[in-house]
Amino acid sequence: MNIIFLGPPGAGKGTQSKRLEARYGIAQISTGDMLRAEVKAGSEIGQEAKTLMDAGRLVPDSMIVSMLEKRIQQPDCAKGFILDGFPRTVGQAEALDEVLARLKSQIDVVLVLQVDEDALADRIAGRFSCAKCGASYNDVSKPTKVPDTCDVCGSHDFVRRADDNRETVASRLASYRKETMPLLPYYEKKVKVAFIDGMAPIEDVSSQIDTIMQEVEQITQK
Ligand code: AMP
């Protein structure tokens, strides 16, 4: 099962795709996480990407497509993958189609998380995660149960993304509207596109996704 998750920054794609990964045993692939790992490692790609990421701009299609092409051929993608943050432009979607055709594979469903844009800046500014296990939190909507202590691993070290600030949110949203929204008509012509109310509580969003996944599984098994 191969899934694409679309939605503006802060819509909850990361949270929901990690849940899907756990439930269906398919690999979650976040191109943002891959780029942040390159930045941390100080690689050539990381150095080139950092300035663009800090400004809330997209990195070039060529850079991201070759990273993604290698990633989806890793053994953990044998049962499928969830793309979180890719594709973000029609050029990336076309390149993905070519790669999948070569691999004799295809996208089974596109999940679109719809959210009220006014809520995004607050959601994003409040995000932080555990530096040790990666569990994600939010100052307002999902604080740690015990102050400064990770609910999952007990660590006291937390990190905030360099680009999770109110100044960058505006340009990230502008990129989403201009570059990524055109993917909706692109995919609607080819594959099932399902819209999800991303303003609902996390558990409700997961149930909406479960219902869609059951429908898609019935179709793909036929
Ligand atoms: P994300 O973690 O998905 O919010 O991505 C963080 C940043 O990484 C974005 O604002 C972009 O600068 C860059 N990025 C991640 N995925 C892509 C992509 N598919 N195409 C271009 N830039 C990307």
| Tens-digit pLDDT string for the chain (222 aa) | 999 999 999 999 999 999 999 999 999 999 999 999 999 999 999 999 999 999 999 999 999 999 999 999 999 999 999 999 999 999 999 999 999 999 999 999 999 999 998 889 888 999 999 999 999 999 988 999 999 999 999 999 999 998 998 889 999 999 999 999 999 999 999 999 999 999 999 899 999 999 999 999 888 776
Residue 208: the pLDDT is: 96
Rounded distance between C-alpha atoms, residue 151 and residue 135, angstroms: 8
Q: Any known ligand binding at 220?
A: no
With residue 129 as reference, give the H or E element that holds it.
strand 127-130
Answer positive or negative: Cα dihedral of 92, 93, 94, 100.
Answer: positive
Pairing of strands 127-130, 136-138: antiparallel
What is the C-alpha R_g of the chain? 17
CB 90 near ligand 1, within 6 Å: no
Residue 167: the pLDDT is: 86
CB 127 near ligand 1, within 6 Å: no
Per annotation, catalytic residue among 13, 40, 79, 132: 13
Residue 166: the pLDDT is: 86
CB 59 near ligand 1, within 6 Å: yes
Atom of ligand 1 nearest to the CA of 53: 12
Q: Any known ligand binding at 20?
A: no
Residue 161 appears among annotated catalytic residues: yes
HSE toward the beta carbon, residue 51, CA cutoff 13 A: 4
Q: What is the pTM of this model?
A: 0.92
Residue 220: the pLDDT is: 79
Residue 148: the pLDDT is: 96
